[in-house]
Structure 1
């Protein structure tokens, strides 16, 4: 199974990979998202360690069961060979209605077919008021290719 673009990545092909990841995660479909990872992919997400597609699917189901109205933006930070670093922000609300903005960085490593074999994510959450939201669903066509994530 090949998942283009494949390494070694250029800045242009890495941007395509990052946008594809953002698009997939914004579907909140664990089965679709899991297909981007190798069968034995390893993750560190915050303090949780996940191995393989089945665990990835289960992790994502739990995530999107509690992070409601999830909307994500990713941006390329750096690229080298088979590795890509991204920064991201997403917003979601919990079951009580409290809104959150989550800020994070990820390091990705890919196999030769373009599947991600390693993902390390560090994430911090900040309470926000609904009126402070700025990420509303998937990125529109007018936002594609534009780095739009302010620091705060």
Structure 2
């Protein structure tokens, strides 16, 4: 991503798309501390059946996640936005320690404070087993290249 401006609410369409892409890139870096800085200090998360509060718990959650979800690659796509809220859909691929591959599909609802930091993240996610050869998120670097197809073009 070349354009790394700080986006503040109320969001435009371009701001919302940029927020989604920056979040995707941050998560693909797998740098838990860096990722946590996009959230308020007391941010509230619901991730599947887990409830997480604050940056410290976010870092702990992410470190555990990236330790268990190996070769993690994520793609996000803007679904909807309004003022200080953004909804995205996403898919990510990973494998466990037994080399069983998964594709996880989900939706996230985000709410931002006046400084553009996320203060609420609600995520619903489902996992399906896939074969290694059925993977679609195959870029070589951590960050998805700008010319790599989006979720819709990948049929996700």
Contact 2:75 2:151 in 1 (8 A): no
Q: Aligned Cα RMSD in Å?
A: 1.5
Q: Aligned partners of 1:133, 1:68: CA distance in 2, in Å?
A: 14
Change over 3 Å in CA distance of 1:66–1:146 after alignment to 2: closer
Query: TM-score, normalised on structure 1?
Result: 0.93
Contact 2:103 2:127 in 1 (8 A): yes
Report the Cα offset of residue 146 of structure 1. 7.5
Q: How big is each residue's C-alpha offset from its partner over 1:89-131, in whole Å with a ceiling of 9 and x where there is no partner? A: 0000000000000000000000000000000000000000000
> What is the 5 A alignment of 1:26-37?
26-37=28-39
Query: TM-score, normalised on structure 2?
Result: 0.91
The yes-or-no answer on 1:124 pairing with 2:126 is yes
Contact 1:46 1:122 in 2 (8 A): yes
The yes-or-no answer on 1:100 pairing with 2:102 is yes
Report the Cα offset of residue 140 of structure 1. 1.1
Report the Cα offset of residue 136 of structure 1. 2.1
Q: Aligned partners of 2:73, 2:154: CA distance in 1, in Å?
A: 13
Report the Cα offset of residue 4 of structure 1. 1.7
Over 4 Å off, 4+ runs: 144-147
The aligned counterpart of 1:40 is 42
After TM superposition, the structure 1 stretch with the greater mean CA deviation from structure 2, 142-151 or 86-95, is 142-151
Change over 3 Å in CA distance of 1:78–1:149 after alignment to 2: farther
Q: Aligned partners of 2:9, 2:75: CA distance in 1, in Å?
A: 23
The aligned counterpart of 1:62 is 64
Structure 1: 5+ residue runs without aligned partners? none
Structure 2: 5+ residue runs without aligned partners? none
Q: Aligned partners of 1:50, 1:149: CA distance in 2, in Å?
A: 31
After TM superposition, the structure 1 stretch with the greater mean CA deviation from structure 2, 140-149 or 33-42, is 140-149
The aligned counterpart of 2:148 is 143
Report the Cα offset of residue 145 of structure 1. 7.1
